[in-house]
Chain A
């Protein structure tokens, strides 16, 4: 081959290397350029999810209702863990919805790289789109959850308050946390497929440590021990969400902890995810 001619050619035409991973600002620009894709994928999936059922998209509304119903039956009526809680069913509903928002985002986010290897091997796009799309899907599913929450609130005789409007803001902050968590889980699962099997159990443990089914304050008097709960981001989000709609206390520590967790996990998780980008889709 004529090496001299080749060198001249390369200099004249402005050629670039596309195999390498772009810089962080360029990566983020590309991610922004593809934002519509990150919305179209979950919308398509949600549309297809209940397509073959009689009730169709109504299931997105019925599912959260049934879930709260079951928990209320078991923990409210049969086991009666309601001590110290006025509006237990709302307390329970908000706790479950909030916790599951994080659990579903991270648990589903974990499989995004592994489950999409065919896509990764055929089309180039910033892979962060995949965990992002999962979190977008969970955010969209919050729509029916809001409806159910506010219906339960009104049915249980709570009078509307301005703080109700803060609930979406809590969930907005929480989605940053979830996205960071989904990034981390997706990369770890890509390296160790076994991780996927562990995630549900980790969330089971956190579930019981987050006061979803009971009031932590009612069980624990020691303020130092309560402080430890504030290190648990799930506890913080559950506590904040409840505070917006019920008259439950909001420790300042929980608020600060949630903000720090969210920002740190989002930034750290993104960088952690992107660093392994060239490896994704290679088995």
Chain B
């Protein structure tokens, strides 16, 4: 494991203490009556998936933490657990304030205009109407959707949608922002602007976790990288070192 290079006078904002997250995946539902009789009406069987197995880390203020690893290594589960959306099976997640997952998209309504959705998304994230009104212009400008802002969101391209989601979520200026594969859809200009925004958040005493398969994106925004494999930390250290080791381990990546 990489040496801990962080100075100890920096304030910790997120602490994971031997975090385990296990969730149940139910096996295919029995469909036929005959199957139900055959199985004697026993409850559905499930498999316990140990998605995160004993992850510990201390993340201090202003860090940009990239999380990399192959599909199914537990990256998204780890983010959900940090956000408090998936309770740990054992271990603890401690944070200075509630970490926010960049997932405002689920709260938005495709039939409503972007402008109305800014209000709904902002309220879902816990802002007040007054706060949202104050940030509306900034959100619209950042999203770059222009005149589309008064059209229903279902008319947006996926890039426009992603930009608006990112603009709404970062307008909340959370102390801890968790981003799960949300930046890949945008064009080059959006990627440039979003990594600039992440830098701003970090500079303003915010902490960002970024899950991505794009190592370039991680390099742009993170000073530290966690390499996960089968729910465990393989390596935790400065971005260049971990990415170098990760790439050496699997040349395809």
Contacts and interface: CB of A to CB of B under 8 A. Distances in A.
| Chain B associates with chain A | yes
A51 B154 CA distance: 13
A123 B103 contact: yes
B101 A123 contact: yes
B124 A13 contact: no
Contact of A45 (B56, B105, B109, B128): B109
A208 interface: no
A14 B96 CA distance: 6
Interface of B: 1, 4, 8, 11-13, 15, 17, 23-26, 56-58, 80-81, 83-88, 92-96, 98-101, 103-107, 109, 111-112, 116, 119-120, 123-126, 128-129, 152
B120 A5 contact: no
A121 B103 contact: yes
A173 to B, nearest CB: 28
Interface stretch (A15-23, A216-224, A232-240): A15-23
Contact of A119 (B86, B87, B94, B106): B106
Contacts of A51: 111, 152
Contacts of B80: 121
23 contacts: A1-B1, A1-B57, A2-B4, A10-B12, A13-B13, A13-B96, A15-B15, A15-B95, A16-B95, A18-B95, A19-B84, A19-B87, A20-B87, A37-B123, A47-B112, A51-B111, A119-B107, A122-B85, A122-B105, A123-B103, A123-B104, A124-B83, A283-B25
A16 B99 CA distance: 11
Given A1-B56, A15-B94, A124-B98, 18 more contacts: A9-B12, A10-B12, A13-B13, A18-B84, A36-B123, A36-B128, A37-B123, A40-B120, A44-B120, A45-B109, A47-B112, A119-B107, A121-B103, A122-B101, A122-B104, A282-B23, A282-B24, A283-B23
B202 to A, nearest CB: 17
Contacts of A12: 11-12
A134 B192 CA distance: 40
A120 interface: yes
Nearest to B102: A122
Nearest to A9: B12
B87 A278 contact: yes
Contacts of A13: 11-13, 96
B96 A123 contact: no
A137 to B, nearest CB: 13
Contacts, number: 119
B19 to A, nearest CB: 10
A44 B126 contact: no
Nearest to B56: A1
Of A13, A14, A119, chain B has the most CB atoms within 10 Å of the CB of A13
User: Which residue of A16, A44, A123 has the most chain B CB atoms within 10 A of its CB atom?
Assistant: A123
Contact of B123 (A8, A40, A120): A40
A271 interface: no
A14 B12 CA distance: 9
Nearest to B99: A18
Nearest 10 Cβ contacts at the A-B interface: A122-B103, A48-B111, A18-B84, A15-B94, A37-B123, A119-B106, A118-B106, A9-B12, A19-B84, A19-B87
A186 B171 CA distance: 32
Contacts of B92: 17
A19 B4 contact: no
A124 B80 CA distance: 10
Nearest to B81: A19
A275 to B, nearest CB: 14
Nearest to A48: B111
A9 B15 contact: yes
Nearest to B109: A44
Contacts of A124: 83-85, 98, 100
Contacts of B94: 10, 15-17
Contact of B4 (A1, A37, A41, A48): A1
A15 B176 CA distance: 13
Nearest to B76: A121
Contacts of A45: 109
A122 to B, nearest CB: 3
